Amino acid sequence: MASTTPVAIIMGSQSDWPVMKNAAETLERLGIGHQARIVSAHRTPERLYRFAAGARAEGFRVIIAGAGGAAHLPGMTAAMTPLPVFGVPVESRALSGKDSLLSIVQMPAGIPVGTLAIGRAGAVNAALLAASVLALSDEALAERLDAYRAAQTAAVEETPRDEP
Ligand code: RP5
């Protein structure tokens, strides 16, 4: 039977939630069950190990992992699970997320992390990619994803107008 919560959204800190919430909201809009958890690679390494090693057995099918700065959470998670991992670089105070982006995207060959854009766009797109993966084996979800895109297209005006 299909899992009712196929997507795990993990993040290194409570401070990542305002960004990662965008992934949760996008999944909600598409009717995809998910769970959000704080799992820090360096502050809670044992929690990370337990989560990543057990994620597949828990019924998750895709993991979205957001972190900022020296952002090793997505890569460490990917090292311990066969599930697809999508990494979201969170904006950092010191380097505006360029550090997060580079540390997530530069995985050595052998352990992939699908890396998204920095910040909100990355969180939304990680959810949409998770939806695309799940839609491969879920026709009803594929239709909801098509409807999401059609609504997005329909919302684009042909001509610009002055903002109020
Ligand atoms: C990372 O360090 C987290 O992912 C967060 O983006 C960053 C800062 O964390 P806090 O110091 O705000 O907890 O581990």
43-88 pLDDT, tens digit per residue, is 999 999 999 999 999 999 999 999 999 999 999 999 999 999 999 9
Calculate how far, in angstroms, residue 95's C-alpha sits from the geometric centre of ligand 1.
13
Residue in 9, 10, 11, 13 to alter for ligand 1 test, most ligand atoms within 8 A of Cβ: 13
Q: What are the pocket residues of ligand 1 if the criterion is a CB atom closer than 6 Å to any ligand atom?
A: 11-13, 15-16, 40, 67-69, 90
Among residues 58, 12, 14, the alpha carbon closest in space to that of 34 is found at 58
pTM value? Answer: 0.96
Q: How far apart are CA 47 and CA 40, in angstroms?
A: 8
CATH number (domain holding residue 93) = 3.40.50.1970
Give tens-digit pLDDT for 133-147.
999 999 999 999 999
Q: State the residue range of the domain holding 98.
A: 7-154
In a domain? residue 161: no
Mean pLDDT to the nearest integer, 91-96:
95
Per DSSP, the residues of 91-117 read P-TTTTTHHHHHHHH-PPTTS--EE--
Write down the pLDDT at residue 163: 86
Please give the DSSP secondary-structure letter assigned to residue 138.
Answer: -
Atom of ligand 1 nearest to the CA of 42: 14
Q: Residue 93, Cβ neighbours under 10 Å: how many?
A: 9
Contacts of 28 (CB under 8 A, 6+ apart): 34
The amino acid that residue 8 corresponds to is A
Radius of gyration of the chain (CA): 16
| pLDDT value at residue 1 | 57
Question: Residue 116 has what pLDDT?
Answer: 98
159 assigned to some structural domain: no
Whether residue 141 is contained in a domain is answered as: yes
Q: How far is residue 13's CA from residue 66's CA, in Å, rounded to a whole number?
A: 9
- Tell me the CA–centroid distance for residue 126 and ligand 1, in Å: 19
Residue owning the nearest CA to atom 13 of ligand 1? 13
Share the mean pLDDT of the chain.
97
What letter would DSSP give residue 14? Answer: G
The structural domain count of the chain equals 1
